[in-house]
Structure 1
Amino acid sequence: MARIRTAAEAEINAAEQMQKLGYGDATALLGGADGGIDVYSSRAYAQVKWRGGSAGKSDLTNLYDTRGTSHARKLLYFSGPGYTDEAVDYADAVGIALFRCEPDGETPPVGAHAPKLVAAARNSTVAVAPPPPPPPEPESPARIVARNAWAMVAGFFGAHWRLLGAVVCTIVLMIAPFGEGNVGLRVFATILAVVGAPVFWLLYVQHRHANDR
């Protein structure tokens, strides 16, 4: 919030600070017929003293009496000039949370109860877990079939690549020298087959012997 200059701005700032403390419906009443309450929430009442002398015990007593029998509501007091020692002792005794109301909008806690509100609000913010990620979309039947087929093909080639290489090289060795077409390509294929066929057959035989042991 911008720098506070008036009592109304102080009340609005107090309402904003209460919202940060967890009182989401805190609303500044802006000096109307508020019955001694400057900021209203369904779970808390607050008074704001922007100018004048330090807030005394009588100021806090007025807020305490305004609550009446609604003891479930928390009481907060915001004071620009600060508090007398007697007021702080009284607030600690009856459970009123005291805050300074600084011109820059800051509201440092005073006394025993305000720091507890600040800590509780900070802990609740930290404890909020991020929303869970959306569930993954189910795979389509076609995608499942394709994935399973690819796994089978990959598994087959992974287990039998030696035999497949030996068979392919042997077939090329039988066909390439006697085929038609580009002579250079046939020579190249024949050389590869001459080298590859015995290598793959040797690897295949060694693999079979290793598995038979």
Structure 2
Amino acid sequence: MTSGNTHKASPTTPPQPRPLRSWQDAEHNAAAWMRYWGYRDAVAQPGGADGGVDVRAGRALAQVKYQAAQVGRPELQRLFGARGRAADKQLIFFTGSGYAGTAVAYADEHDIALFVYELDGRMTAVNATARRVARPPAEGPERSSAAAPERNQPATTGGAELLPAPPQRQPPQQRRPAVRLLLLLLLCFFGFNTIRAGVDAAHGEDMALPFAFITFGLGTAYAVSSPPKTPAGSVAPSSAPATRGTGTED
């Protein structure tokens, strides 16, 4: 029988379905799936004392069970103990049956990936760790970070680099009706004082104080009612972003 460890490179397509007629087939199938998931040096070790490990890779260790009974917590504990001090290695468990509830809880606690394989070799992830491990190579962190655009790079459109729009100047605040009413009252008041000053002048009284009030009132009214002047060289705000050409003109 041809060994399933002949191809060590990480394939871009999942392993083809094939019948699993023995525990050796199950172990080679598990190794093939691990290579597809990115563990390129995954190798099955059928036969002999495995110490609780059936597939080894530089970054992972796996146990494969070819049995009809559910996998319990003790099997996962043996795999966890076989890792020893190599805490950086991912632990993966394969079975053709299923897992007891206590086994799933133990796997979630110790970050062990749980898989169930079909008799044709297909794999089903049981817990969240398995779903993370089984992510296709195209969705791995290396591919996703390379495909993601740089956030700090300015966007470009049609050969022109989009620049941030200049800050828009706030339009002058509209004059309230109350201010206009106050101005009207001031004009009426100082107009009345002007008439009174004329009457007082006819009787020979001093007109300096009324004229001072009139001058002050007119000056105040002029200052309040004068529209704000636009500084020289100011540019009207624009909502469209400025562009800086990156190419040469025809």
Q: 1:135-150, aligned counterparts within 5 Å?
A: none
| Separation in 2, partners of 1:126, 1:40 | 23
Which sections of structure 1, spanning at least 5 residues, go unmatched?
131-213
- Residues 121/97 of structure 1: CA separation in 2 closer, same or farther (3 Å cut): farther
2:124 pairs, out of 87, 97, 108, with 108
Query: Tell me, what secondary structure is at the counterpart of 1:46?
Result: strand
**Do the aligned partners of 2:36 and 2:136 also contact (CA within 8 Å) in 1?**
no
| Separation in 2, partners of 1:96, 1:122 | 23
Report which of the two has the higher share of helix: 1
Alignment match, 1:201: none
Matched, 1:96 2:112: yes
Matched, 1:65 2:81: yes
| Separation in 1, partners of 2:138, 2:126 | 17
| Separation in 1, partners of 2:69, 2:85 | 29
Moved over 4 A (4+): none
Query: Tell me, what secondary structure is at the counterpart of 1:91?
Result: helix
Deviations 1:129-161 (A, max 9, x none): 79xxxxxxxxxxxxxxxxxxxxxxxxxxxxxxx
2:42 pairs, out of 3, 7, 26, with 26
Query: Tell me, what secondary structure is at the counterpart of 2:20?
Result: coil
Return the offset for 1:33: 2.1
Matched AA of 2:42: A
RMSD: 2.0
Percent identity, aligned pairs only, is: 40
Matched, 1:82 2:92: no
Return the offset for 1:118: 1.8
**Do the aligned partners of 2:63 and 2:93 also contact (CA within 8 Å) in 1?**
yes
Q: How many residues align?
A: 130
**Do the aligned partners of 1:50 and 1:101 also contact (CA within 8 Å) in 2?**
no
Query: Tell me, what secondary structure is at the counterpart of 1:108?
Result: strand
| Separation in 1, partners of 2:130, 2:137 | 11
Deviations 1:71-116 (A, max 9, x none): 0000000011111111011100100000001101011101120001
Q: 1:49-64, aligned counterparts within 5 Å?
A: 49-64=65-80
Which sections of structure 2, spanning at least 5 residues, go unmatched?
1-16, 148-250
Matched AA of 1:39: V
**Do the aligned partners of 2:42 and 2:57 also contact (CA within 8 Å) in 1?**
yes
Matched, 1:13 2:29: yes
| Separation in 1, partners of 2:65, 2:138 | 25
- TM-score, normalised on structure 2? 0.49
| Separation in 1, partners of 2:137, 2:51 | 28
Matched AA of 2:64: V
Q: 1:123-134, aligned counterparts within 5 Å?
A: 123-124=139-140, 127=143
Return the offset for 1:125: 8.8
Return the offset for 1:13: 0.2
Matched AA of 2:111: G
Matched, 1:48 2:64: yes
Return the offset for 1:19: 0.3
| Separation in 1, partners of 2:33, 2:130 | 12
Matched AA of 2:61: Y
Matched, 1:3 2:3: no
| Separation in 1, partners of 2:29, 2:76 | 19
Alignment match, 2:216: none
